[in-house]
Amino acid sequence: MARVLTAAGPPSAGAGRGGAGREGSAMTTVGVEEEYLLIDPGTCRLAARGEKVRAAAGLAPFVADDEVQPELLQAQVEVATPVCATLEEVGGHLLRLRHAVAGAAEACGCRLVASGTPPLAEGLPAPVTDKARYREIQRQAPQLVAEQMVNGMHVHVAVPGRQAGVEVLNRIRMWLPTLTAMSANSPLWEGHDTGFASWRTLIFDRWPVSGVPPYFADEADYERRVRRLLSAGVIGDTGQLYWQARLSDHYPTVEVRCLDVQLRADDAVMFAGLIRALADTAMRDAAACGSAPEGDMEFLQAAMWQAARYGLSGDLIDIGGGRHRAGEVVYGLLEHIEPALEAYGDTREVTSLVRRLLERGTGAELQRTALAAGGLEAVTAMIVDALVAP
């Protein structure tokens, strides 16, 4: 994230967009990180020009230095919004950053695309960005790094402390498969359809600490288990906690990481609204009813696999263990977070975007439609155009 998020409690019912929450406290803030691919416009191959794009003079004065960041591989670039109090701010910053970085990429002879995986993986392995941490990760797992050309969207939501953050993690983990299915935007790999809506999810699940996070008894339990992983040498630092949701070590936030990067900025805004409302609902539930249900880990893993396989085009497994049509599970999520959405004044915007998603399909479905109509060139044209769509 570009700047530290200020922690705040859940808003009171009836608070307006960008207004006060509980009397005397600010609205819970949110921030978004997005990872993008760089591709050659003529060949659709990966273009290892990340450092050139970041250094492009065209980024200033529209983008601050800390808003565009390096990624593991040089055919990627990451952006981070400032702290946002409203979804309108999130959308404005994402469009600003997307336009600026897309312009810088074009000036460097490549194109910026928001897809969870590259339509064409020729050009792999892309060079690793020259940072000591990235070189050490490559030494640890060379083949995984070679195939780590995947791009996600991370949503940070402010929490008033790490214990509150653990309470949020315990309550939102049941919803991570649903969010993954909704965000699916990585069906292609090496020029062909993988059969998965989110192939990125499968690639990321190969790391030693990944997938749905476990249930934690409290903050001390979280810290103890992280220390054990570090002392065992399984991970080199807490940045390698590749759980699909985790506590940030740099900001007072919960970071949800299960999402594929989105084709359009307004879909990213939708997820920022959903996840903030989920976190606030979790904090309310923790205050009202104590312990969260643990759920069976193997069942959550199976639900995540199902979500990655089918996205919204097949059945999903809901938090109670039932198998339902995807739309029913998505509307169950909206019902669960409705009071928080209403408190922020986000109900109309978020629900209309969710309905559009259900009608139009996920990014994975749109990529497959383009592939059937015109091959990889059509896919590339579609995802390039969608990046800065209003």
Give the pLDDT of residue 76.
95
Pick from 274, 223, 280, 262: nearest CA to 246:
223
Measured CA to CA, the distance from residue 245 to residue 253 in angstroms comes to: 11
Measured CA to CA, the distance from residue 157 to residue 8 in angstroms comes to: 10
3-state secondary structure of 76: strand
Name the pairing type of β-strands 210-211 and 242-243.
parallel
Please tell me whether the peptide bond between 61 and the residue prior to it is cis, using omega within 30 degrees of 0. yes
HEC letters along 37-58: EEECCCCCCECCCHHHHHHCHH
Give the pLDDT of residue 321.
76
Tens-digit pLDDT profile for residues 216-240? 999 999 999 999 999 999 899 999 9
10-residue mean pLDDT profile of the chain (390 residues): values are 46 34 58 96 89 79 85 94 97 96 94 94 80 92 93 98 97 97 96 96 96 96 97 93 96 97 98 98 90 87 96 89 91 97 97 98 98 94 92
Give the pLDDT of residue 123.
64
C-alpha distance from residue 350 to each of 97, 344, 379 (Å): 22, 11, 27
Measured CA to CA, the distance from residue 321 to residue 143 in angstroms comes to: 35
Pick from 73, 76, 53, 75: nearest CA to 131:
73
Q: What are the structural domains, with CATH classification, of the chain?
A: 30-387 (3.30.590.20)
Angle between helices 326-344 and 176-183 (to 10 degrees): 100
Tens-digit pLDDT profile for residues 124-180? 678 999 999 999 999 999 999 999 999 999 999 999 999 999 999 999 999 999 999
